[in-house]
Structure 1
Amino acid sequence: MTETAPAPGRRREVMVVLPGLMLAIALAMLDNMIVGTAMPRILGELGGLAHLSWVVTAYVLGTTVSTPIWGKIGDLYGRKNIFLASIVLFMIGSVLCGMAGSAMLGGPADGMAQLIAFRAIQGLGAGGLLVNAMAIIGDLVPPRERGQYQGLMAAVMSLAMIAGPLVGGFITDHLDWRWAFYVNLPIGFVALALLAVKLKLPKYRTEHRIDWLGAVLLSIGITAVVLITTWGGNDYGWTSPQILGLAALAVVALALFVPVERRAAEPIMPLNVFRNRNFTLISLVGFLLGFAMFGAINFLPLFQQTVQGASATNSGLLLLPMMGAAMVVSLFVGQAITRTGKYKIYPVIGGVIMALAMWLLSMMDVNTPSWQTGVFIAVLGLGMGFLMQTTMLIAQNSVEQRDLGVASSASTFFRSIGGSFGVSLFGAVFNNHLTSSLTDKLGPALGDRLATGGGQFNPAAMERLPPNVRLGFLESLASSISSVFWWAILFAVLVPLIAAFIQEIPLRGGFDKNEETETPVPILE
């Protein structure tokens, strides 16, 4: 490859638009953390403890199925307008989520179903936020320099994760839980204004065709697999017609997806990128990272607020060690990669630390003090800091500049789909373990009623239960959450093993002019 130095003024261009990009990323990250902290209060009003994982699954699934589409249409039509559209869609989803179960939409009877559906809409917008923000940085900055910028963005993600539980806790304790969603609106408007005015990216005058058939087949296949992991062994038996039908649908859809992509003029996910060893390996690492991390930490606020008796605000504060550790390590890793050009060691270290953290968290029980949980999740934050940005950086460095959007979307896609599978699988593990444990401790009738969330559930309600029932419920809940982390260990240990086979390919220090020879002359938006 022929490398050139970055164009003069490129750093200034990046710094001008970086605040808007950071706000857009913060939108997606803030929302998940705010909602996680507010979930016990949401369950208290809308009911349905058994549906806890679906509120997260719907969001992650929406993100997962839309990510390849956002990345591809950004490559085809220019990223600016596509990026702005994703922000608008995310804000619409936020408004609808805040209205779920309100009198305007028929009251709380159908509130949980509405919230799950609206979270899917939110997730569709979030897919565009994450992938296009990273791809825009890739458009403006050569790989060798991306480490420091992606380190900053990873730090912002960590800050958002810190702020999210705090804001969510304050909203939950002092305001209506609906503001957990409405708070996205002012942030979204500021990001829209900044990017609409400041962001200047190439827009190409060419004819394009979106691979809609490939997108539909991929969405059907992924959705079917997620439903299998969510319903299998929980709502339906593994050999039930529903699960077997979904399995057949997933196999057919994904089997058809491969030849469709091979024949498509502009495939939604070009299969040729998987010929690159590093790209395939880092995609697997991203999948496992999402599986273990997002699937497991979804249950931390529930443990802290219910088992440990923390208020919503305090449970947000208790997550600070994890987010602070992730932020510090992300900044260090970004600077180190930019300075040395070396990156292979970081996902290996991060995977080892993350597996250790999952083992520590699996040891928690009803008697675990808050300070000890804080130490455990700080270890998890260290592992996240080594992994979060390096997966994207290695994926982008493994493809040509013209496939940058595909690489960014694929990296986000595999992390999102891992999170989606993780939330679904761990949600099923949690529900099955909770039902079994409550039945053993409290008897079939009472245990089943508490496990299925037939009544409204919230931490305050625990105080009104008889002491023996309350203790049995808390012990069952704690052991069920610990079982989730035990399962997470199995996936976390694979991360360093796979990362060890990544080849240390030098990061490009500039853009390859030869890559632009086949690209039409751009105009500025």
Structure 2
Amino acid sequence: MSSSVSPDSPPATEEALSGGMTHKQRIEALVGLLLGMFVAFLSSTIVSNALPTIITELHGTQDQYTWVVTATLLASTATTPIWGKFADLVSKKLLIQLSLLLFTLGSVLAGLSTSVPMLIGFRVVQGLGLGGLQALGIIIIAAMFSPRERGRYQGPMAAVMSVATVAGPLLGGLIVDTSWLGWRWCFFVGAPLAVIALVVIGRTLNLPVVKRDVKIDYAGATLIAAGVSVLLIWVTLAGKNFAWGSATSYELVAVGVVLLGLAVFAETRAKDPVVPLRLFRDRTMTLATLASIAVGVAMFGGAVFLGQYFQIARGYSPTAAGLLTLPMVIGSMLSATVSGALITKYGKWKRYLIGGAIGMSAGFLLLSTTDHDTNMVLIGVYLFVLGAGMGMTMQNLVLPVQNNVAPTDLGSASATVAFFRSLGGAAGVSVLGAVLSTHVSDLITKGLVAAGVDLSEAGGSGAGLSNLKDLPESISTIVRAAYGDATARVFLISGVLAMLSLVAIAFLKEVALRTHSGIEQLEAERAAQAAADVLSVGGADSELISEIDELEDRAAYDGSAGRHARS
């Protein structure tokens, strides 16, 4: 070797092991990343609370309400692993700046929408950028910090998410309730913050570009997105536009299944698949992915209808609806901060994931007992329990996966978990939205019949969000009550799915978190491989063997570095 490291040599500096970034620089870069995440979450939460007003003013339907959310989730799901692959080819800084620009462009265009279909289309553009923010944020943080350190930063990440979750609905409510602004400013307001995030990231993030021979699996991503989209369209439209047992229904299911089958086949043949199937040979990866799907369905599918419940069923303004979600946000922030600090201190994570899954299950099941006149204090308590469970589960679930895989698989594994969580979210919003829509129609019809109202004069089961403002007060009261009572079924399904995530987490094997970042592990592995090459050519002396032992210790995972050096 050109320069050896004897047993008495001082350890490599933090800067050397972190790709040229000191601890201070990594913290500064983390601030930029968190600001970018804040922009994304703020834009999403502003829209979620403004949607009842938007859909009503644009004369949309309950199904379109669902697809305004699903379109973004589906686009981000399909592109998350592609962004992760690109991170192995070009600058991560450039990619995350590009994703921020794309997300901002989609937001501005969405604000200019004149119809619900147009809004859905521009929400897809938002989703393309959101996919980059999801994948790259996880990958960059994993590259800069060790799994053990990451627990310490779950608190700031949770705080950013919580502040955005609080500020979004409140800001969105104020904008919608302010006559001289209007709902379009819910999309425009994030643009200045995105520019600030771009500047901060540009000035602070300085990760090395470590290129690998990677081929983007466009076929796999396209087939997966197409297959899932077809099945979601089937779930959304069946029972209303056509019968569940009709030929159209069977055709959509067949097309969706065939597309997903082709996707699996494509993944087995791809050099660098979107979803590397070999990763699922590891039990931790498989169980964490299953838990992520269930968490995604429950989290997105359940929480997205809260704003609708408060505004439509309970008659609160958008601003008040935002304030009413505070118990959930506070619970999430507190539990994520405390659990993250304890994980960093002790290196143990499973107890917090189990506690979080129990909290999510209990919160959703408690909410499933509510209706259109449940005491609001009780609902606040239920939301706090739900938020506490989400805070412990949502951010920490990726830790065992990142801790268990080799550093070369860190990007793929992280992106895969994010992919399936987003996929679960997209499916959850669509499926639960379809359940809600069908149940609401049934309850409206029963309510009108019970009140002795002529269905033809009331618009029948067509009475709903699209014409709520135009309905007589007696009929609108029935519609609002139907939404309040039907939402409980959404929470019940979410609770059952949260219990499935608890089962998957319970079978995870706990391994103490490593103390080396992804960059440190890669450099230790490469150095150990170089030492192994020297051994294979010229033999070894005691000093070189000592050096290899040190490199194996730095690798910090039970993997290839030690085996290569000893071969």
- With the length of structure 2 as denominator, give the TM-score of the two structures: 0.84
Q: Report whether the alignment pairs 1:445 with 2:435.
A: no
Match in the other structure for 2:473 = 466
Counterpart contact for 2:400–2:511, Cα < 8 Å: no
Task: For 2:228 and 2:88, locate their aligned partners in 1 and report how far apart those are by CA, in whole Å.
Answer: 23
Counterpart contact for 1:431–1:451, Cα < 8 Å: no
Task: For 2:481 and 2:322, locate their aligned partners in 1 and report how far apart those are by CA, in whole Å.
Answer: 22
Task: For 1:54 and 1:438, locate their aligned partners in 2 and report how far apart those are by CA, in whole Å.
Answer: 22
Match in the other structure for 1:105 = none
- Kindly tell me: are residues 299 and 11 of structure 1, through their superposed partners in 2, closer, same or farther at Cα, counting changes over 3 Å? same
- Kindly provide the amino acid, as one letter, of the partner of residue 93 in structure 1: G
Q: How many angstroms does 1:387 deviate by?
A: 0.4
Q: Report whether the alignment pairs 1:484 with 2:497.
A: no
Task: For 1:518 and 1:260, locate their aligned partners in 2 and report how far apart those are by CA, in whole Å.
Answer: 34
Counterpart contact for 2:88–2:214, Cα < 8 Å: no
Of 150, 158, 161 in structure 2, the residue corresponding to residue 154 of structure 1 is 158
Within 5 Å, give how 1:256-295 maps onto structure 2.
Answer: 256-295=262-301
Q: Report whether the alignment pairs 1:129 with 2:133.
A: yes
Counterpart contact for 1:358–1:485, Cα < 8 Å: yes
- Kindly provide the amino acid, as one letter, of the partner of residue 71 in structure 2: A
Of 71, 80, 89 in structure 2, the residue corresponding to residue 67 of structure 1 is 80
Within 5 Å, give how 1:218-297 maps onto structure 2.
Answer: 218-297=224-303
Q: How many angstroms does 1:452 deviate by?
A: 5.8
Q: Report whether the alignment pairs 1:506 with 2:512.
A: yes
- Kindly tell me: are residues 216 and 466 of structure 1, through their superposed partners in 2, closer, same or farther at Cα, counting changes over 3 Å? closer
Of 94, 105, 111 in structure 1, the residue corresponding to residue 107 of structure 2 is 94
User: For each residue in 1:274-322, what CA deviation from the matched residue of structure 2 results, as whole angstroms up to 9, or x when unmatched?
Assistant: 1111111111111101101210111111111122221111111111110
User: For each residue in 1:381-429, what CA deviation from the matched residue of structure 2 results, as whole angstroms up to 9, or x when unmatched?
Assistant: 0111110111121221121112222122112111111111110111111
Secondary structure at the aligned position of 1:76 is classed as: coil
Task: For 1:274 and 1:65, locate their aligned partners in 2 and report how far apart those are by CA, in whole Å.
Answer: 19
Task: For 1:212 and 1:333, locate their aligned partners in 2 and report how far apart those are by CA, in whole Å.
Answer: 38
Task: For 1:130 and 1:446, locate their aligned partners in 2 and report how far apart those are by CA, in whole Å.
Answer: 48
Secondary structure at the aligned position of 1:390 is classed as: coil
- Kindly provide the amino acid, as one letter, of the partner of residue 177 in structure 1: W
Q: Report whether the alignment pairs 1:7 with 2:14.
A: yes
Of 164, 168, 174 in structure 2, the residue corresponding to residue 164 of structure 1 is 168
Counterpart contact for 2:332–2:389, Cα < 8 Å: yes
Of 117, 121, 136 in structure 2, the residue corresponding to residue 117 of structure 1 is 121
- Kindly provide the amino acid, as one letter, of the partner of residue 125 in structure 1: G
Secondary structure at the aligned position of 1:416 is classed as: helix
Of 512, 517, 525 in structure 2, the residue corresponding to residue 515 of structure 1 is 525
Secondary structure at the aligned position of 1:302 is classed as: helix
Q: Report whether the alignment pairs 1:347 with 2:353.
A: yes
User: For each residue in 1:82-112, what CA deviation from the matched residue of structure 2 results, as whole angstroms up to 9, or x when unmatched?
Assistant: 11111111011001100000xxxxxxxxx01
Task: For 1:10 and 1:398, locate their aligned partners in 2 and report how far apart those are by CA, in whole Å.
Answer: 25
| Percent identity of paired positions between Structure 1 and Structure 2 | 38
Within 5 Å, give how 1:293-332 maps onto structure 2.
Answer: 293-332=299-338
- Kindly tell me: are residues 125 and 406 of structure 1, through their superposed partners in 2, closer, same or farther at Cα, counting changes over 3 Å? same
Match in the other structure for 1:26 = 38
Segments of structure 2 that go 5 or more residues without pairing to the other structure are: 1-10, 16-20, 450-454, 531-567
Q: How many angstroms does 1:5 deviate by?
A: 7.9
Q: How many angstroms does 1:454 deviate by?
A: 8.0
- Kindly provide the amino acid, as one letter, of the partner of residue 324 in structure 1: I
- With the length of structure 1 as denominator, give the TM-score of the two structures: 0.91
Q: Structure 1 residues 194-203 or 239-248, which shifts more?
A: 239-248
Secondary structure at the aligned position of 1:77 is classed as: coil
Task: For 2:425 and 2:374, locate their aligned partners in 1 and report how far apart those are by CA, in whole Å.
Answer: 26
Q: Report whether the alignment pairs 1:493 with 2:488.
A: no
Which protein shows a greater Rg? 2
Q: How many angstroms does 1:213 deviate by?
A: 1.6
Q: Report whether the alignment pairs 1:379 with 2:389.
A: no
Match in the other structure for 1:104 = none
Match in the other structure for 1:142 = 146
Segments of structure 1 that go 5 or more residues without pairing to the other structure are: 102-110, 521-525
- Kindly provide the amino acid, as one letter, of the partner of residue 137 in structure 1: I
Q: How many angstroms does 1:228 deviate by?
A: 2.6
Q: How many angstroms does 1:167 deviate by?
A: 0.9
Q: Structure 1 residues 240-249 or 412-421, which shifts more?
A: 240-249
Secondary structure at the aligned position of 1:204 is classed as: coil
Task: For 2:60 and 2:230, locate their aligned partners in 1 and report how far apart those are by CA, in whole Å.
Answer: 23
Q: How many angstroms does 1:435 deviate by?
A: 0.8
Task: For 2:498 and 2:363, locate their aligned partners in 1 and report how far apart those are by CA, in whole Å.
Answer: 9
Match in the other structure for 2:69 = 56
Task: For 1:448 and 1:210, locate their aligned partners in 2 and report how far apart those are by CA, in whole Å.
Answer: 51
Secondary structure at the aligned position of 1:147 is classed as: helix
- Kindly provide the amino acid, as one letter, of the partner of residue 170 in structure 1: L
Match in the other structure for 1:523 = none
Task: For 2:156 and 2:495, locate their aligned partners in 1 and report how far apart those are by CA, in whole Å.
Answer: 29
- Number of aligned residue pairs: give it: 503
Match in the other structure for 2:48 = 36
Match in the other structure for 2:199 = 193
Q: Which has the higher contact order (CA 8 A, sep 6+)?
A: 1
Q: Structure 1 residues 150-159 or 495-504, which shifts more?
A: 150-159
Match in the other structure for 1:77 = 90
Counterpart contact for 2:432–2:490, Cα < 8 Å: yes
Q: How many angstroms does 1:184 deviate by?
A: 1.4
Q: Kindly report the root-mean-square deviation, in angstroms, between the aligned alpha carbons of the 2 structures.
A: 2.1
Task: For 1:56 and 1:159, locate their aligned partners in 2 and report how far apart those are by CA, in whole Å.
Answer: 21
Counterpart contact for 1:291–1:421, Cα < 8 Å: yes
- Kindly tell me: are residues 25 and 449 of structure 1, through their superposed partners in 2, closer, same or farther at Cα, counting changes over 3 Å? farther
Q: Report whether the alignment pairs 1:421 with 2:427.
A: yes
Q: How many angstroms does 1:455 deviate by?
A: 4.3
Secondary structure at the aligned position of 2:348 is classed as: coil
User: For each residue in 1:258-282, what CA deviation from the matched residue of structure 2 results, as whole angstroms up to 9, or x when unmatched?
Assistant: 3322322222222111111111111
